[in-house]
Each structure stands twice: as C-alpha cells, then as structure tokens.
A and B are shown apart, each in its own frame.
Chain A
Amino acid sequence: MAAVLFEKASRIYPGSPHPAVDNLDLQIDDGEFLVLVGPSGCGKSTTLRMLAGLEPIDGGSVFIGTTDVTMLPPRERDIAMVFQSYALYPHMTVGENIGFHLKVKRLPKDEIKKRVLQAAEILDLVPYLERKPAKLSGGQRQRVAMGRAIVRQPQVFLMDEPLSNLDAKLRVSTRTQIAALQRRLGVTTVYVTHDQVEAMTMGDRVAVLRDGILQQCATPRDLFTRPLNTFVAGFIGSPSMNMLPCVVDGDLGRFGTLQLPLTPSQRTALTTDKVTIGVRPEALKMASSDDETKGLAVTILTVEELGSDAFLYCTPVDHPQMSVVARAEGLSSARPGSTVMLVPDLAALHVFDTATGDRLAE
C-alpha cells in the first residue's frame, strides 16, 4: 500500500494538438479511495493508464510510494487493474485467471492455491473456480476481474469503469461491495467513472477532469457545496445546477425580477460587471403567496414526477430562451403551462465570475 503522486504529468497523443492529460498535479493518500470523474474524452482513463504504465508519460513524473515509476513498465509497478471489459483470459479457468499473477511470479503451487481460494471466498467465486469465463454471467465475470486484483495485495488498485457493463440493479449493489471491500483491504484505489453517482458515493475524494485539466479534487461534500468553477458546479449534481447570468448592480446581482446579494469580497474580486449565480434545483422553491415579489416568475414546461419529489422544468417569463429546474414536493400540485414564482435559498447560492468561470468566495 502506498500513496500516489502525479507531478506535472502530461500525455500528448501523437498527432493530437492538445494534451489528453495536461500538467496534472494530484496527490492520493495511502489507503485513499480516489475517483476520477468527468465527461468522455476528459482524460480520466488516460490518467489511470499513465499510472498503470500502459500509456507513456510525455512530461512530469508519477510516483507510487517513494518510487518514481514514470519510466517503469507496468509489471514493475506492483499495481492491479480492473478493466471495463474485465479482460479475463478466455482460455484459462476462473482459478487460473485469478492466480495468473502469482504463477508469473513463480510462487509455490500450494501458496497460489491458498491465495486464489481466499480471494474466491471473499468474492463468492468458489463454486466457479474450474469454469471458463465464457460460462459465467456478467456479474460473475466482474467479480473474477476483482479477484484477479485483490489476490495480488498490490500497492494500488486501478479500476476503469468496472461497473459499466452491469445492469442497473447489480451496479448499485456491486458499488457498495467494492467500496466496502476497499475499506476492508485498505489498498489505495484510483477509480475511473463517468457516473457522478458512483463518484459521489464511493470516493473519499473525487477529482473532476475536463479536457485533460484537473478542475477540482475534493471530498464529495465539498465538491457539491463548494464547486470551484462553473464546470464542476454543472457537472456534479442531478439535475444540474441552474446557472443564472446576472448583471451586477451595486451589491446585487440581477436576473430579471430576481435580486441576489453579493458580498463585498465577491464584488471586489469580480473582473467584469457580469456574474453567474448558481442555484441548485433543490435550493429553488415554489413561493407561497406572501413572498411572491421576491421570486422569479417562470412558466412550467414539464413536471418530472418521481414520487418522493418532483422536478419542474420551467422557463423564466423574462428570459424565454433559458430553462430553469426546480425541485418541488413529491406528488406536486404544479401543472405544466401554469406560471409560478420560484424563490432561491439565499444561503445556498454559488457565485461565479462570468468571465473566468471561477468561484467567488463569500
């Protein structure tokens, strides 16, 4: 087990003008579960493959523990990886798949057998040890891929979207199992996903990437409550945060009839007179009749009824080209076509400089 450190690590694919991973600085603590998340093409898989040694590092360096592994081949890095496709060896049985690393390391046969059995017990794979991967279900294959990783007791686990080939229900239960297993084994884990729910539920910390650049690396809670820029704010949370383009007027940001307060430090930090104020759907409530004047008049387009709560997809009366999402009580009385007032929770506003996209601290 060891910490992982990326130091100004870059990867530029031949023939591409932009780096796939650009000057990445990232410290992952010993035993930590770090999730790399971002839209497709953001460089999260490339980052993982750079750590694995499957992708050359064109600039900077990567450390596992105190060892500089930048130039080391994968087999000398003491890492284990779970692939999206599982990459099970089709001609080997489950037992041989799990024990392949130990066999390559020339461990004694009974030692291999013992450790394979241990791993199989943890993952409920004992009855399938003699089967070939082709005769297993998707969930079982996924567990074999996990078994191949845990049998090694490596410095770092790398997981590249290991749940994306499972059906929705199995994905949720496996998600919990993997997180619990990681905590039990205490092995530093880097986990790649494009699914923000996986990221938020599994990670000790989550690193959000975009176009090869690290946007923010923080605990799920921090990421949600204090996103550092408009990209992270929009990426984390579902439905996405509403981004209201406001004009600065004294110590207020104005969006239509809505007036949102700015702190003095936010005003001085602004580079232009434009500010983007983010409001999560859950911080946007339908107004009761007496505070109607403080809100934003919107027309409800559709109501997404989820039972426990409902999402209202609306368009502001003054800005018909924009859309705003608000959360309402479940089994809501709101009807499409009607006009209502939405009032933001002033304590849950996110203020960003429109020019730079960066968060303006209170």
Chain B
Amino acid sequence: MVELGKTFLQAAIGIGAFLAIILLIYGLTTLLRGRAKERAQIFPFLGFAVIFLIVGLAIPAIRTIITSFYTNKGGTGLNVDTYIGLKNYRQIFADPKTRMTLLNNLWWVILGTGFSVGVGLIVARTADNMKNERLWKTLIFLPTVISMVGAGIIWRFILTKSSDPKHEFGLLNSLTGVFGAKPRAWLLQQQNYLPGLPHVNTSLLIIVFVWIQAGFCTTVLSAAVKGVPDSLGEAGRIDGATEFQVFRKITIPYVMPTIIAVTTTTIIAVLKVFDIVQSMTGGNYNTNVLANEMFDKAIPQNRPGYGSALAVILFVVVVPVVILNLRSQRRARELG
C-alpha cells in the first residue's frame, strides 16, 4: 500500500511540475511584446508536443537504423558495440527462413488486405438501407474491439486439437467431424490446398486478422457509401446500368479515395501484424512474419542489431504505402 501511495505521489509531483513549467513559460511570454510574444507563446503549446515526437519517435527511429549496423557481444539488453556494416542485412537475406517470412508477409498483404476491404465494401453496400442495418454492422464491427492477442487465443480454442480427453478438439474439428473428417491440428497444417496459395495454417491466421479488420473497413466504407447521392444511382439505373454496374461504375469510383485510405491503413496494419502470430503459433510451423521475427530476434534471442535491421526493412516496405495514402488524400481534396 505504501509503495502504491508513493508511486501516485511521484506521478502527481511529476505532472504538477510539468504544468508548473508550462505555466511559468507562458507567464514569462506575457512579458514580451509584439511578434516576439506571439512566437514565444507558441512554444508552451506546440513545443512540448514537438519534444515528445522527437524523443519518442524520431530519436528511437534513428537509433534503430544505427543499431541495425551493429552487433552486440552477447552482452545484456540493448548493449551494442561492434560496427558490422550491412552484415545484419546480408544475414537476413541469406537466411532461407527469411524467404518464407517475406512470402508469408506478401500473402498477408494480399489476402488480409484484399478480404478485409472486400468484405467491408460488400457489407457496406448490402447493409445499406437494409432492415436492421445497424445490427448487422454492429455484429461485424464487434471483433474490432477485441485485442489481437485475445482474438488469437479465442481462435486457438476454435482451431485446437487438444490432447485433453475432456476437450478433445475445438469448434472447427467438431464441425468437420460432423462431415466425418478426422480431427486435425489446424495450426500445424503446412500444406496448401492449391499450389501457389499460402499454407493452411497461415491462411487461418489471416482469417483471424480479417475477422478483426473487416469491421473497421465496413464502418469507414459504409459512411462513404452513404455519402453517394441517391440520384447518381438513379441516373445510372435510368441510363441502363444493372445494380452491379451501378456499384462498379458509379459507387466504387465515387468512394475510391476512401477505399484507398482504408486499403493503405489496412496494409500498414497487416505489415505490423505480430500479436496474432505470436499468440497462435509463435511464428513456428512456417507461419512467421517480419514483425514477429523482429521481436523474436531482438528480445528473446537478444540480438538487437539483427532485430533493428528487420525493423528497418519493415519500415522501408511501409513507406511507399504511406506515400500512396497521402497522395490519394491530396487528390481527393483537389477533386473536392
């Protein structure tokens, strides 16, 4: 109890001191005159945000890039000391497992994003003006509020083939059992049903992600679809278009800026996926992805240099997506 009280007291003193400093600086600026006063007064409001961005984002980012050129001597924590140039990167690309990891990431981007946005768009369109529209949308949105780790654990129950005789297998095995199929350890299934497609277990992990992300996509796209003036669809129908043609040639182009925003947001979320993989397979059985590999190397295996190099690769992959997003937003503003 005493410890807890102390912690709270410390926090209160810290926050109090911070506010006192801001007030003090603000007070001092009121002594100034004219333009100098205006400029100085920006500082207490904007200055701290900038400092936090630098300390919390810019410096760690730069440090990560630097760290990726170093190795640690097997010391503790983040102690890095030997400069090894691009060796970490060479190692990453030389590792045969990396190919699998990158391939998995590619499938995550294609299928995870494709299905999330696709499901979102279809639900947004079909639920529009339907009876109980809110109910359907709430149902599809619900998983979005579950943490990815929580979702991973829930789905592991569904996919499990436990050795515990009381709960011998999970929901999916019970379902397939109805059709006479033998229970399987789904998360260990490394074959693919069709050549070229991802492994069964990776596909199942992607389904968990889609389950979570589709709700977000639906919500945003639904708002956009509702923004399409009714008269546009009516004009299309009179112009001879079928419902599908109206959707494809009028609705989709109209909401395209939103589709791009949702797609890029989802791609970034997909590339950062770590929790689902970590909580369901731990990246084993050829289900590894970049972010999980980064965590595995940097923390449990205590190789911050190697982990940082992976982080930089991830960053480089995300940058074009962010640029695409920004560009599309600017174009949407211009079209107004």
Residues of chain A whose beta carbon lies under 8 Å from any beta carbon of chain B: 52-54, 73-75, 77, 79-81, 83, 85, 87-92, 100-101, 104-105, 132, 134, 148, 152
Contact = CB atoms under 8 A, between A and B. Distances in A.
Question: Do most interface residues of chain B lie in helix, strand or loop, or is the interface mixed?
Answer: helix
A91 B237 contact: no
Given A85-B229, A104-B245, A134-B336, A91 B238 contact: no
B13 to A, nearest CB: 57
A74 B237 contact: yes
Contacts of A90: 254, 335
B225 to A, nearest CB: 15
Interface residues of B, number: 20
B254 to A, nearest CB: 7
Given A83-B231, A134-B336, A89 B238 contact: no
Q: Which of B234, B239, B250, B254 has the most CB of A within 10 A?
A: B239
Nearest to B239: A101
Question: Do most interface residues of chain A lie in helix, strand or loop, or is the interface mixed?
Answer: loop
Contacts of A80: 238-239
Given A104-B245, A134-B335, A87 B237 contact: no
B57 interface: no
B74 to A, nearest CB: 59
A88 B231 CA distance: 9
13 contacts: A75-B237, A75-B239, A75-B240, A80-B238, A83-B234, A85-B229, A87-B229, A87-B234, A90-B335, A91-B256, A100-B241, A104-B249, A148-B235
A94 to B, nearest CB: 14
Q: Which of B229, B235, B237, B241 has the most CB of A within 10 A?
A: B235
Interface in B225-255: 229, 231-232, 234-242, 245, 249-250, 253-254
Given A75-B241, A104-B241, 19 more contacts: A52-B238, A75-B238, A75-B242, A77-B238, A80-B238, A80-B239, A81-B235, A85-B231, A87-B231, A88-B235, A91-B253, A91-B254, A100-B236, A101-B239, A104-B239, A104-B240, A104-B245, A104-B249, A134-B336
A92 B236 CA distance: 12
Interface of B: 229, 231-232, 234-242, 245, 249-250, 253-254, 256, 335-336
A74 B235 CA distance: 9
A54 B235 CA distance: 10
Q: Which of A73, A87, A134 has the most CB of B within 10 A?
A: A87
Contacts of B240: 75, 101, 104-105
B234 A74 contact: yes
Q: Which 10 A-B pairs have the closest CB atoms?
A: A87-B231, A87-B235, A91-B253, A101-B239, A74-B237, A75-B240, A104-B240, A74-B238, A81-B238, A83-B231
Contacts of B253: 89, 91-92
